[in-house]
Structure 1
Amino acid sequence: MRAGYTHASLRLADLAAAAWPFLHRDRAGANGEVRAILEDNGIRVLDLEGAPIDAFSPLDTFLPLLETAARLGARHVVARIDDTERERATEAFARLCDRALPFRLTVELSCVHGSATPRLAAAAAVVGAINRPNAGILIDTLDFTRAGDEPEELRRLPKEWFHLVRVRDAASAGSTTNCPAVVLPGEGSVDLRGILDALPAGLPYALVPPRAANAGAEEGWARRCILAARDCIDGLHGIRDLQAA
């Protein structure tokens, strides 16, 4: 909070780990400690990332994640689809949304390089097909740029599909072979203003800052990152819930 942030986005498990769902089990004590630390610093949890949908994981494995999200007071969980069988993956995403609804959570489908929905059109096809009130699409400005999507495509989609946006800038953002290094907002080649202006007003902005160069300088660096973001998007929609992710 001292650096100007109000929320945090959390990633509780390595998405590449085969046993990731079990990392969320029996962690009520640890989650309580995390929440206490956040509350002591005036920080709330916006979203949790950690729901990779593949052809093998039964939907029951996501219950610990949903329970953890609710326990920490999160509003959203972020999912990615790794199953290339579209009909099966769409049905699984729909069932995940159904499971999340009693926890008052939205499920945000990410458009991310290397997933089965790397582009906006693919994610929109899934969300449009299931017609769930808590289904959404997570736009990451860097992944959006790497995919070659255009801001005008966002304007054609229902506003209620968007609940937050992840803000990242990078040099050589158009590269599809290597993940570009994240830089301060406004110092890279991502069209932050164009993308954010095409999204609905009032969305929380989840800032992904580059790492601090020196250990121990994190607070000052975090403050510099959020100031750079505010300068970059000055005049757009207004600033609301811009927080570290």
Structure 2
Amino acid sequence: MSTPLGLAALTVLDTPPLQHVDLAERHGFDTIGLRLLPAAPGTTAYPLHEDDAALSALVRRLADSPVQVFDLEIIRLGPDFDPSDYAPLLEAGARLGARAVLVGGDDPDRARLTDSYARLAELCASYGIVASLEFMPWTAVPDAKTAVEIVAGADGPARSVLVDALHVARSSTTVADLAAIPREWLHYAQMCDGATPAPRDHAELIRHAREERLVPGTGGIDLPAIWSALPEGLPVSIELPNEPLRQAIGTDAWLEQLVTATGAVLGRVPATAIVE
């Protein structure tokens, strides 16, 4: 079964959406992810939901492209979360044909967090989008078990858990935990490798996640074990920011390397084909 490949926003975050499509076409990606809201204050994002001209231009560009938008980033569920604040983002996502929105859980109150997720998932469903709750070890959703508990408590449509290889390896998540996620809640997974041993403090975990991910097969994460627990053919988004490595060989060579290395993990090509 063929596995759709996506070019995540964070891998080329300095690239505006129109050029992001160009890169995806050039390197054989099936989909792209777009960051419309920043992951942290002051960081890069492309708020297409606030710029109708830019949004319309991207819609026209996608109409002539084999590349599709898969996911949007990022909605954070904090103590003051109000799903109506994100209706413009989801409206833009529907125009782009997006299938998922990445969700982070930042509210330490588990009951309130679960309720916020349920309300967001319900809103997302009205736009044909799933709310993919990503577990990250420095958040209020630190591992797969917690993500499953929250999503299970949100009875309703558009429920989804996002598996990121880096967060699997740097949390208490096991392969058995991944295998226990209901298949209907898995819509895509994020691919990368990472250095071992993992950083111990949250600041370094965050920095590594945003700046120092490694090419699949060059770090210490057991990627084959992770993917053995996921459904065959599950769409894969390559999320792999590492500016020193990218700048050393150039963006085009970098993306070719990532595609080849990811193919090796997924069984598409022999590992010996990976360019070092």
Q: TM-score range by the shorter chain?
A: 0.7 to 0.9
Equivalent position to 1:44, from 59, 63, 68 = 68
Of 218, 226, 234 in structure 2, the residue corresponding to residue 195 of structure 1 is 226
Sequence identity (%)? 27
Q: Give the partner amino acid of 2:30.
A: T
SS at structure 1 position matched to 2:123: helix
- Give 1:3's aligned residue: 27
Q: Out of 242, 254, 261, which is 1:228 matched to?
A: 261
Number of the residue aligned with 1:154? 178
What is the CA distance between 1:63 and its match in structure 2? 0.7
Which of 168, 177, 190 lines up with 1:166 in the alignment?
190
Instruction: Give the unaligned 5+ runs of structure 2.
Output: 1-24, 270-276
Q: TM-score, normalised by structure 1?
A: 0.87
Deviations 1:169-203 (A, max 9, x none): 11126333223321111111111110111011221
Please tell me the root mean square deviation across aligned C-alpha atoms, in Å.
2.4
Higher helix proportion: 2
Q: Residue type of the partner of 2:35?
A: R
Cross-structure match for 1:207: 238
Shift of 1:35: 3.3
Residue 19 of structure 2 is matched in structure 1 by none
SS of the residue aligned with 2:226?
Answer: helix
Indicate the residue corresponding to 2:199 in structure 1: 175
Does structure 2 retain, via aligned residues, the 8 Å contact 1:170–1:190?
yes
Matches for 1:62-81 after TM superposition, within 5 Å: 62-81=86-105
Quote the offset at 1:161 in angstroms: 1.2
Change (3 A) 1:24 1:213: closer
> Structure 1's 59 and 213: CA in aligned 2 closer, same or farther, altered over 3 A?
closer
Q: Please list the CA deviations of residues 192-234 of structure 1 after superposition, one character each: whole Å capped at 9, or x if unmatched.
A: 1101110112210001234453388312221121011111221
- Which residue of structure 2 lines up, in the alignment, with residue 116 of structure 1? 140
Q: Which runs of 5+ in 1 are unaligned?
A: 237-245
TM-score by length of 2: 0.78
1:2 is displaced (CA, Å) by 2.4
Letter in 2 for 1:84: P
Instruction: Give the number of equivalent residue pairs.
Output: 234
